[in-house]
A and B are shown apart, each in its own frame.
Chain A
Amino acid sequence: MRILIPGALVAALLVLQTVPAQTPGAAATAATPHYALDPAKSSLEFTFMQAGAANKGHFARFQVAFDFSAENLAASRLDVTVEMSSVDTGDQERDDTVKGADLFAVAKFPQAHFAASQINRTASGYEAVGKLTIRGVTRDARVPFSFRTATENGAAVGYMSGKTSVRRLDYGVGQGDWKATDQVGNDVAVSFTLRLIAH
């Protein structure tokens, strides 16, 4: 018994030590946390030039799947799907025009998709490197973002935000008269602020 008690203590200490020690060090073998979108507290917005003035819009419906560990970027990935018919520029007539065949063509291309299987660390945060598909056209894209985690009411959450720019004509958003960029600019600034919940 005298031998067993210190043995149990050692075993208990070992367990206690290994649990906290594993979290930062053993990420390579542990599952990378998976995050899902909290739609109510997330936004995906864009700013475009119309008739020389900046105008804003946003997408009401989009899905995000984010596997992320700062210690294991190799296993991290980002997947975003945007429902193009949920576009809202604050003007019904304009929304109908944007959804039409010459612009988003939502009937034929209901979703835009960004799939990044490579996440790089950058000076100011991270960047997701992948393929962006809009209106059936797929191109390489890099999306810089910042990410921080927090614990809210016992739940692990993540906050992701970033800004990027998309040239609409690269993706064929603008056929016929809309190919002209004097009234609607080619560069569209996209910004996102996402609240993600770890699962």
Chain B
Amino acid sequence: MAIRNTTQRWGAVAQLLHWLIVALIITQFTLATLFDDLPPGARKLALLARHKSVGITILMLAALRLAWRWTNPTPPLPDTLKPWERNLARLTHALLYVLLFAVPLAGWTMSSARGFPVSWFGLFTLPDLVPKNKALYEVLVTTHGALAWTLGVVAIVHMLAALKHHFVLKDDVLRRMLPLTSNKTQGSGR
């Protein structure tokens, strides 16, 4: 598999970043569900710390991913798409990129507003984005949660679309983001 993208397939780096972020987002929802039910305590603190570190990781990977996308060819959408499908796909992808930044940034800002500095796995401490502000913190708790759920819903739409391409339309849209499988239609020009 090529490291860089081609006009037919996503390269190894793009695939790795895509699936790594998928795994980390699932981790984030799992951690959030776990600590939401816990009373204040050492265990909640540990899960929250992990959640913050993973969130900052997603933010870093998202930046890397965007940079990689801008410096690589992008495999185009299939010609078979209707205009509304094409628009929906573009909107979904744009929203996913925006949310990959917005959700962690809202979480980071929320921590700063609470007065709790964010550390990345205990290795370094990130700067506070805003001064301590209780009212802002309350707003950001809601914002971070709402953005996260939006990301979840959009990601599910994205996943269902990919599955439709694979199982109903039987094209290469999902296949070209999977390792170890080649395109069915090599050199189709897309």
Binding site for B on A (CB under 8 A): 50-55, 90-91, 93-94, 96-97, 176-178, 180, 182-184
Contact = CB atoms under 8 A, between A and B. Distances in A.
B46 A183 contact: yes
Interface stretch (B62-70, B112-120, B174-182): B112-120
Interface string B83-126: 00000000000000000000000000000001111111111010
A90 B116 CA distance: 9
Given A50-B116, A177-B42, A183 B49 contact: yes
Given A51-B119, A52-B121, A53-B125, A91 B52 contact: no
A94 B48 CA distance: 14
B164 interface: no
Nearest 10 interchain pairs by C-beta = A52-B119, A52-B122, A177-B42, A51-B49, A53-B117, A53-B119, A53-B125, A183-B45, A90-B115, A97-B40
The winner among A93, A176, A177 for most chain B CB atoms within 10 A is A177
Contacts of B122: 51-52, 182
Given A91-B116, A93-B40, A50 B123 contact: no
A177 B43 CA distance: 7
B132 interface: yes
B189 interface: no
B41 interface: yes
The winner among A176, A182, A183 for most chain B CB atoms within 10 A is A183
B165 to A, nearest CB: 42
A186 to B, nearest CB: 13
User: What range describes how many residues of B lie at the interface?
Assistant: 20 to 34
A183 B52 CA distance: 13
Given A97-B41, A182-B46, A183-B45, A54 B114 contact: no
B116 A55 contact: yes
Name A's interface SS: mixed
A90 B132 CA distance: 9
21 contacts: A50-B116, A51-B45, A51-B49, A52-B119, A52-B121, A52-B122, A53-B116, A53-B125, A54-B125, A90-B115, A94-B40, A97-B41, A176-B42, A177-B41, A178-B41, A182-B122, A183-B42, A183-B45, A183-B46, A184-B42, A184-B45
Interface of B: 40-43, 45-46, 48-49, 52-53, 114-123, 125, 132
Contacts, number: 53
Nearest to B50: A51
Contacts of A50: 45, 116
Contacts of A184: 42, 45
Given A90-B132, A93-B40, A97-B40, A55 B45 contact: no
B124 to A, nearest CB: 8
B136 to A, nearest CB: 14
A176 B123 CA distance: 26
